């Protein structure tokens, strides 16, 4: 096969598909120049090798990595595959290639360029998974808990254990709208399944406790320590849409209003803002 020309590997986008591609690459003794996923391939003049997903091959590659390169490397490969971005397959392919060429030390050589690329992908996935453990919020809809998230990477497999452990006796679902998949859990069964779209029942049913939570959040801020920059570092704006406690601030553009002004003005403004929506919320609660 390696008779010149740029070679592209096309596969089905699954992890097993990718491992099958790795198998093919070693069988063909050729590193592909790039990867494409069947569904979003564009017509191209380049030479394409269509990878057939073969579970047997995938298993052999996985075992090979675990045995020859160790658990750390396999773990990095698995985690990096959850990364969602250009050149993901290529980076992992090169990493594995290098591993089989140079031995198990690739797992620790994180200063090396090829290894570092995969290491950074893992870190990105890991960090984002942590954010979604922190900032995923459920609302109760007739006894079932529902949450929608929009992560950059496919974090559901990494947050699965966290949620299944803590609310194991509940029925819950986390819908990843970016990757059209959902983690669905019942006390008997847990699964991550493809879900194209989802009608989410509106939040109104769960107003009582989200209202109490907002109320709590408002009352624990200390005006004289107001520090929006610090909050933003720990709780970046892109997560705010999940958090009932900052809903009003997000809507009113309160943050922008506050970015100028002296400390005293800010404290005053904050006090006002903290007491304002209370009335509306209470009205909603009493209905």
Q: Which stretch binds another protein (CB under 8 A): 27-35, 36-44, 197-205, 228-236?
A: 228-236
Between helix 263-275 and helix 207-220 the angle, nearest 10°, is 160
| Residue 17 CB neighbours (<10 A) | 22
**Which listed residue (21, 118, 129, 147) binds another protein by CB under 8 A?**
147
104-119 b/e with 16+ CB inside 10 Å = b? bebbeeeebeebebbb
Please report how close the Cβ of residue 26 comes to another protein at its closest, in angstroms.
23
In order of 2, 126, 164, 244, the CA distances from 152 in angstroms are 35, 12, 22, 21
Q: E strand or H helix at 9, and its extent?
A: strand 7-11
Q: Which stretch binds another protein (CB under 8 A): 2-10, 25-33, 80-88, 129-137?
A: 129-137
Residue that has been written with the tokens 């769960």 in this structure: 206
Establish if 250 lies at the interface with another protein (CB under 8 A): no
Please report how close the Cβ of residue 281 comes to another protein at its closest, in angstroms.
9
Establish if 20 lies at the interface with another protein (CB under 8 A): no
**Which listed residue (14, 44, 127, 134) binds another protein by CB under 8 A?**
134
Residues that bind another protein (CB under 8 A): 105, 108-113, 116, 133-140, 145, 147, 162-163, 165-170, 206, 209-213, 215-231, 233-235, 243, 245, 263, 270, 282, 285
């Amino acid at each position: 096969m390696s008779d010149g020309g740029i070679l592209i590997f096309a596969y089905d986008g699954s992890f097993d598909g990718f491992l099958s591609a790795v198998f093919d690459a070693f069988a063909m003794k050729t590193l592909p120049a790039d990867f494409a996923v069947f569904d979003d391939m564009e017509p191209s003049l380049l030479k394409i090798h269509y990878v057939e997903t073969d579970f047997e091959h995938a298993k052999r590659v996985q075992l090979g990595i675990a045995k020859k390169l160790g658990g750390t490397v396999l773990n990095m490969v698995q985690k990096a595959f959850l990364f969602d971005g250009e050149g993901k397959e290529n980076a992992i392919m090169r990493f594995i290639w290098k591993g089989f060429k140079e031995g198990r030390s690739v797992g620790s050589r994180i200063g090396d360029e090829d290894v570092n690329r995969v290491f950074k992908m893992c870190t990105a996935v890991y960090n984002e998974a942590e954010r979604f453990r922190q900032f995923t919020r459920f609302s109760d809809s007739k006894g079932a808990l529902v949450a929608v998230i929009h992560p950059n990477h496919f974090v559901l497999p990494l947050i699965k254990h966290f949620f299944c452990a803590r609310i194991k006796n509940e029925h819950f679902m986390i819908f990843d709208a970016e990757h059209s998949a959902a983690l669905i859990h019942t006390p008997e069964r847990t699964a991550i399944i493809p879900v194209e779209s989802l009608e989410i029942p509106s939040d109104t049913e769960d107003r009582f406790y989200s209202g109490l939570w907002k109320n709590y959040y408002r009352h624990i801020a200390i005006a004289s320590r107001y520090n929006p920059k610090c909050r933003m570092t720990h709780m970046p704006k892109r997560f705010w849409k999940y958090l009932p406690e900052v809903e009003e601030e997000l809507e009113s553009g309160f943050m922008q209003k506050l970015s100028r002004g002296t400390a005293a003005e800010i404290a005053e403004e904050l006090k006002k803002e903290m007491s304002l929506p209370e009335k509306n919320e209470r009205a909603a609660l009493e209905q």
